[in-house]
Amino acid sequence: MSGRELTLLAEGRVELLGRIPRSSNETFLAQVSCGDDEAYAVYKPEAGERPLSDFEPGLFRRERAAYLLSESLGWGIVPLTVIRDDAPLGIGSLQRFIECDFQEHYFTLYADAPETHPELARIALFDYVANNTDRKSGHVLRGDDGRVWGIDHGLCFSAAYKLRTVIWDFAGEPISDALLEDIAPLAEDVPPEVAELLDEEEVTALQHRVLHLLHLGVLPVDRTGMRYPWPLV
C-alpha cells in the first residue's frame, strides 16, 4: 500500500459511476480523486445492505477488519479498504479496485495456473481464520500485476462456525511452518484495530480457530461436503 492510495481512499472526493451487477448488496464502482490524482474503488454503503438474520447491519466493518487482519499477518491478500462516513450514500467501505481479467477466478486459476497454488492455499487458510461464509470463485482475482487477491469479506468473523468456500482443493494439506508462525500470535492477541470492529465473542472465536489450526497443522477438511457458497462463482 502506498501513501498515495491511502490518501485517495481516505480523503478523496467520491463519485459514483454505477452499480456493480450481480451483488447481493448494493455495491458501486466509484472514482476517487484528490487534486489531479484519481483511482477506481468499490463502495459498499451500509444503506445498501440486505437485512440478515445471522449478521448485524454494518457489514462494511467486516470488510475493513478483513483488510486489517490480512495486513497484520503480512499477507497482503485483501485490497486496501477504508471506512468512509462522508461517501455519497452514507457510511460504508471503500476498497481499492483491482484491475484484472474478470474471466479468471479461483477455478480457472487452480486449473490453469499452478504457480498460484501457494497463494490460493494461503487464502484458504485466511478464510478459516476469518470464518469466511462466502468465498465464491469470483471472489478470487489475479491482478494485472500477477498478484492474487481475495475480495468481498462482508460475511466474515461470525462467532459461530460458518465457513463456506469453494477452496477445498488443499484440504488436509500441511500448513507451512512459516504460515503457522504468522498466525500464532493471534491466539494470544488479536490486533486492537481488528478487535474493535468485532464483538467479544467474535474475537474469542477467531482465537479458538487459530488454536485449532496450530494444533492440527493442516488446512481444514469439509467432512460434510456441504460447506460451499451459492452460486459457486
Position 22 scores a pLDDT of 84
Residue with cell 462463482: 233
**What angle do the packed helices 200-216 and 117-130 form, to 10 degrees?**
130
pLDDT at 114: 98
User: How far is it, in rounded angstroms, from Cα 22 to Cα 32?
Assistant: 23
- What does the chain come to in residues? 233
CB burial readout 100-133, b (16+ within 10 A) else e: beeebbbbbbbeeeeebeebbbbbbbbbbbbbbb
Q: Say how far apart CA 100 and CA 141 lie, in whole Å.
A: 7
Fold adopted by 3-216: Transferase(Phosphotransferase); domain 1 (1.10.510)
Please give the pLDDT value at position 1. Answer: 63
**Strand pairing of 37-45 and 92-96?**
antiparallel
Q: Name 190's Cβ contacts closer than 8 Å, sequence gap at least 6.
A: 203, 206, 207
Predicted confidence at residue 187, as pLDDT, reads 98
pLDDT digits (tens, 9 = 90+) for 59-87: 999 999 999 999 999 999 999 999 999 99
The answer to whether the CB of 109 falls within 8 A of the CB of 121 is: no
Positions in the chain short of pLDDT 50: none
Contact 42, 21 (CB under 8 A): no
**For the range 140-144, what are the long-range contacts, defined as Cβ-Cβ under 8 Å and sequence gap of 24 or more?**
140/105, 140/106, 140/109, 140/167, 141/98, 141/100, 141/102, 141/104, 141/105, 142/100, 142/101, 142/104, 142/109, 142/113, 142/116, 143/98, 143/99, 143/100, 144/99, 144/100, 144/101
Hey, what's the cell of 220? Answer: 481444514
